[in-house]
Amino acid sequence: MSEQPVSNPATAPDSWADGPLLGFDTETTGVSPTTDRLVTAALVARGPRGADGARPQRITTWLADPGVEIPDSASAVHGISTARARAEGRPVDQVLEEVAAALTQAMSAGTPVVAYNAAYDLALLETELVRHGLPTVRQRLGRELGPVVDPLVIDRRVNRYRKGKRRLTDLCAFYGVDPQAGGLHTAEVDVVATLDVLDAMACAHPEIARIPRTELMSWQAAAHRDWAVSFNEFLRRRGRTPDVNTSWPLPDGM
């Protein structure tokens, strides 16, 4: 685990969007949140804006030994090989415990956890916790997850008719966010970029920052459901299986 203090400018004042926020991202052995394993995790604690306009940040990162081979296709994305994970990574159950504890603490305090395509990372984390015999975040909270903020879900609602892909790289380009040196697909870089995209999005669409904190989860759940229903209908028209889960921030059945 490593920590790195940095600072970054803020966005919309006088709202939940102004902080504190806790960014979250993972890199894994594949693309399935229910079968693949955790390799790296990053949390970025971003505080409220100071008098100078800067927002303090604290970056915490973990490298885990997932206990399985990391496919070459996954290593090509995040740069972590099986050999490196085994040599430098900590036991995955220890990493999972620390990440889950930090997320539980933030959610218990009402601090929004910001994750791009949050349903993937949260589902993977909850599944991994169960796999390793550890309490899930929901069990630790004694309730459902939240508050969670997902810039992908928000962008699909406020820019619903924009054509093209909506990967984090695409949103960075659209909102004018320049990722740190080295590019995306490193967990901590992705988290900082996600928080910066959220800032830019809140500036471009001030109504986002005005969503009451108590309505954040229901607003996003409805936005995701509307998008998923529409996209499933699009798949049906194309003769494809409508397989997009309509539930957020976790898929049905979890």
**The pair of three-digit structure tokens given for residue 106, joined into one six-digit string:** 């933030």
The predicted structure's pLDDT at residue 207: 95
Its sign, for the CA torsion 154, 156, 161, 162, is positive
The predicted structure's pLDDT at residue 10: 40
The predicted structure's pLDDT at residue 101: 98
Q: What is the pLDDT along the chain (254 residues), one digit of tens a residue?
A: 544 433 333 443 468 998 899 999 999 999 999 999 999 999 999 988 777 777 889 999 999 999 999 999 999 888 899 999 999 999 999 999 999 999 999 999 999 999 999 999 999 999 999 999 999 999 999 999 999 999 999 999 999 999 999 999 999 999 999 876 555 557 888 999 999 999 999 999 999 999 999 999 999 999 999 999 999 999 999 999 999 999 999 998 88
Backbone angles phi, psi at 128, to 5 degrees: -65, -40
> Domains of the chain by range and CATH?
2-237 (3.30.420.10)
Its sign, for the CA torsion 11, 15, 19, 22, is negative
Q: What is the pTM of this model?
A: 0.90
Angle, CA 156 vertex, CA 27 and CA 113 arms, to 5° = 45
Its sign, for the CA torsion 112, 115, 117, 122, is negative
The predicted structure's pLDDT at residue 178: 85
DSSP 8-state secondary structure symbol assigned to residue 61: E
The predicted structure's pLDDT at residue 186: 73
**The pair of three-digit structure tokens given for residue 114, joined into one six-digit string:** 């910001």
Distance CA 117, CA 123 (A): 11
> Is 187:197 a contact under the CB 8 Å cutoff?
no
SS3 196: helix
The predicted structure's pLDDT at residue 206: 94
Pick from 9, 15, 8: which is nearest to 208 by CA?
A: 15
State the pairing for strand pair 38-46/2-9.
unpaired
The predicted structure's pLDDT at residue 122: 98
